[in-house]
Structure formats: structure tokens, C-alpha cells
Structure 1
Amino acid sequence: MDLLTFLTWFSGLAFIFFGINSFYSKFIVLEFARYGLSKYRKLTGYFQLIGAIGLLLGLYLNPVLLIIASLGLSLLMLAGFAVRIKINDNFIKSFPSLTFAVLNLWIALKAFSIYF
């Protein structure tokens, strides 16, 4: 298994987990309330699930889908990082969103370099 495949699966499975938790986790409900973004919790969960499915399908069926999904997730996580900074969360709490933003940007750039 090459690095692109491994990281795509890692990100895809992580976002399936995050997406499902957006609907059922009391912790996530409280976190979105803390961010002042409660009304966007379910929408964020849908975006995470759609992005995850796009990553996994795109890896095997269509590189354009892989690139679009990974760029979308990267932007979503960049927005999450910005929210964390705005509400003055420390770097430890903010780091995962930044890490997933960079990871998905790398996936998009690597897929683009391989397929185009």
C-alpha cells in the first residue's frame, strides 16, 4: 500500500467517525455550542461524511473526485482551525484541525501530481 492510499484511507475513516459523531456525541453537541455554531453541527457532519465517501470512492474510481473531496475537507478543517483560534483555544486543541487540513491538502496535491 502506497502512502497516498494509506493516508486517504486514514482520513476517510477518520471523517466517517467524526461525521457520525456530529449527530450522536454529546461532547460534539457541547463543543459546537461552545463555538457558537450549534446550528451548523449537523451540516458539518454531512460535509464530513460526504467528504469521506468522496475520498474513498475517488481513490478507486475517479481521481477528480478524490481531489475535490480532499480539497473540500481541507477547507472545512481550515475553517475549523480558524474557529478554534477565534475562540482562543490553545494550540493543543487547535492542532488536530490544522493537521487534517494539511493532510487533505497533501492528498489533493499528491493525487493531482500523479493523475494530471
Structure 2
Amino acid sequence: MKLIFVAALVFGVAIAAPPSVQSSRRRTMPALQHEEVHDEFGQYALRYVTAEGTVVSERGRLVPTPDGRAHVLVVEGETSYIGDDGKTYVTKYSAGLDGSRVEGAHIPVEPVEV
């Protein structure tokens, strides 16, 4: 009888947890979709979707350097997730010959001086 009471109490506390606690619990779930492809040169493409709505896609491809003597792995990707406030946040990123860049409406931008 005590076991049933404790189980019911734990279940009740879990149901009554604030949304932020519930969403952090969901974030430990495995990916619902997972696709990943690699080739023998190290190029790749991946995409996965998690239970809480996070979507990650990324691609790495080899690009020759300007002098043509070597190759650089250029990475491009996008991550989107639903925040605890219910808004969808999208971040796009790339890294390669021209350096790295990150973009997103939620990321602060440095003011431009005139």
C-alpha cells in the first residue's frame, strides 16, 4: 500500500512540475529522426530531429584552397529549437575559407558606426 501511495505521489509531482522542468526532462529523449552520411574523404551530411522539436542539419564538404594545393573542410549548418518561451529560434552557421559566421534573429548584432 505504501508503494502505491509513493508511486502516486511521485506521479503527481511530475505532472505538477513547471513547464521548464517538464521541457528539460523531454530534452533527454533520443532523436526521433537521425540521418548521417559520410564519404571516404571526410565529407558528410547529417540531420536529426528530437522529441522536443529541435532540428539540426549540417554539411561538411571539401573545397580547394585558392592556390589549389590543398583542401579545406567547409561546414554549413542550421539549428532550430523551441525555447521555453514557446518561440522558435533558428541559428545558421558556417565555417571555411572565409572564416566563421553565425546568424540568428535572437543573436545580438554589433552596432555599425557611421
TM > 0.5 between the two? no
TM bucket normalised to smaller: under 0.3
After TM superposition, the score normalised by the length of structure 2 is 0.25
More RCO (CA 8 Å, sep 6+):
1
Higher strand proportion (structure 1 or 2)? 2
User: What's the TM-score once normalised by structure 1's chain length?
Assistant: 0.24
